[in-house]
Amino acid sequence: MTLNVHYLSELDSQIADYLSAQLDPAVRLTSGEKSAKSGDIHILVSGRPDRDLLLANDDLKMLIVPWTGIPPETRDLLADFPGIALHNLHHNATPVAEMAAALLLAAAKNLIPMDQALRKGDWRLRYQKPAPSLTLNNRTALILGYGEIGRRVARICKSMGMNVIATRRSAAPGDSDEIADEIYPPQKLNDLLPRAQTLIVALPLTPETEGLIGDRELALLPPESVLVNIGRARIVDEEALFKALKNRALGAAGLDVWYSYPEDEQSRASTFPAEYPFWELENVVMSPHRAGLTREIEHLRMDHLAVLLNAAARNERVSNLVDINLGY
């Protein structure tokens, strides 16, 4: 049986050829919005499909969102189509984990202010006492979200001599594995925060995680803690985070995800990423949500997509199934 797979965005010809070369012969791949309403799609690859497209394809059994995380509108839409399985990709896990490590090191070592000062011939930070840099060895990292990205971040932290504790929805208190020293369910968060000299947020944004870290949670962290967010910005309350950083209740932060984004191409050169002026703080390292944007990312996306499509073509278990109720 032929498995008709449609990629809603128009694929570059080289990328389409790269993907096709990896696919089972039973997979027939098409792409582009113009040819999307043919009525015979079995698997649709799209982050934000419209309702009419789903209704027009009675044989549609699977939607694959080609990135990590499910847009809220897609989650709401799929709730009306219980016969369509929802999956996503974790192709960006490695580059995002690398960015988490880069942000952690830059924030802990106070690297950006020192770089900016030295460009002006200013060496004073080199002689500042106490030194503005932290040693990460023997510190404890708490990773919120011990999934594909979280496990990779944990491995990097362990390689630097850090102790790693983590939260995972399916964990029992005191679990561990070959990487993390301790794994706990999310309900133990408040017990774990006082131990977290580094807090790394790698969670999806869901109704349960939005605003998870606020004034109270930040106050539980030890002095000089470093927070890194490579999950979604609104998991951490914006005002609470800004105040904690400005008042030095929180040592430093490395942020790749934000509270405001450009609405169109024209506004990309003039959109501040938050309501509060994080850019005025020296103890914040800022990245414009580019952790997964590396030169290799489209090939990685196709590699991971091919694994899912081939499993479907061979009637095997397709990984990365999303629970609509949980949002991940």
Residue 245's alpha-carbon distances to 194, 248, 323, in angstroms, are: 17, 5, 35
What confidence category does residue 132 fall into, taking pLDDT thresholds of 50, 70 and 90?
A: confident
The CA distance from 253 to 106, in Å, is 9
Tell me if 1 sits within 8 A of 39, measured CB to CB. Answer: no
Give the percent of the chain with pLDDT over 90.
90
- Half-sphere exposure for 281 (CA within 13 Å, toward CB): 23
Alpha carbon 273 to its chain centroid, in Å, reads 17
The verdict on 187 and 278 lying in the same domain is yes
| For range 296-302, the mean pLDDT | 95
What confidence category does residue 328 fall into, taking pLDDT thresholds of 50, 70 and 90?
A: confident
The CA distance from 316 to 253, in Å, is 42
Q: What is the pLDDT of residue 219?
A: 98
| For range 167-189, the mean pLDDT | 91
| For range 169-184, the mean pLDDT | 90
Tokens of 100: 């988490």
Residue 235 lies in a domain: yes
The verdict on 83 and 152 lying in the same domain is no
The amino acid present at 186, given as its one-letter code, is P
Quote the DSSP letter at residue 197.
S
The verdict on 166 and 72 lying in the same domain is no
The verdict on 117 and 66 lying in the same domain is no
The verdict on 54 and 120 lying in the same domain is no
The pTM is what? Answer: 0.91
The verdict on 155 and 246 lying in the same domain is yes
How many domains is the chain partitioned into structurally? 2
Q: What is the pLDDT of residue 305?
A: 98
Domain enclosing residue 10, as ranges: 3-92+295-313
The CA distance from 112 to 177, in Å, is 35
pLDDT digits (tens, 9 = 90+) for 77-129: 999 999 999 999 999 999 999 999 999 999 999 999 999 999 999 999 999 99
Residue 155 lies in a domain: yes
